[in-house]
Amino acid sequence: MVRLAHLKPVLAATLVFAAESVRAQSRPTLDGYRLGQTWRSAGGRTMPCHGDSYGPGSIPEKACMAANGVLLYFRDDTLVQVYMWSRDRNTNLEDLWHNEWKARTMRMFGPPDSVIDAQGPPEVPYRGIDTRWDRATWCAFLSLAYFPDSVSKNEASHKESASVVLSLYSPWRRDPKHRGC
């Protein structure tokens, strides 16, 4: 005979696990936009848009700039990518990751699948931290990068800063037949 007192913690743990699984697979939002949203529901009529594609043979997309500076990419009037870019005065990438972006992105996307140190080639020297989330219905990518050679000591407008790129996209964005990140 199962005692009710023992069943409650097991049931609670099962519900927490199920909620985490659903959160990890459901399509998250980024700055209020959700993958699969229509061009019209995202406010497409009020945004400047232009045709865009990855190159010859690729499926054409509509690239739109939202009022808040977020880039939105639509294929057949369906949102397939949300792209945000900004700069941060903090050039200590480990500090940026641990103290600002780690908790924020884990709340949005759950635990990442990978976090790696990145180094650019000699032609484009940079240091970076790249983080990926690869799910069945969505993918996310966070890149924190510092380009030391691009800093101009003579221009006050180009103070040292880190580049922050956050992108949420459909796994089939580049090739509709491919279902992976």
4: pLDDT strictly greater than 80: no
Specify the pTM: 0.74
Chain segment 86-116, per-residue pLDDT in tens: 988 888 999 999 999 999 999 999 999 999 9
Residue spans of the domains in the chain: they are 29-169
Chain segment 9-67, per-residue pLDDT in tens: 433 333 333 334 334 447 789 999 999 999 999 999 999 999 987 666 677 889 999 99
Residue 11 to residues 15, 18, 24, 130, Cα–Cα distance (Å): 6, 10, 20, 37
> Two tokens at 8?
């409650």
Chain segment 53-88, per-residue pLDDT in tens: 766 667 788 999 999 899 999 998 999 999 999 988
Q: Is residue 51 exposed (0-12), middle (13-18) or buried (19+ Cβ within 10 Å)?
A: exposed
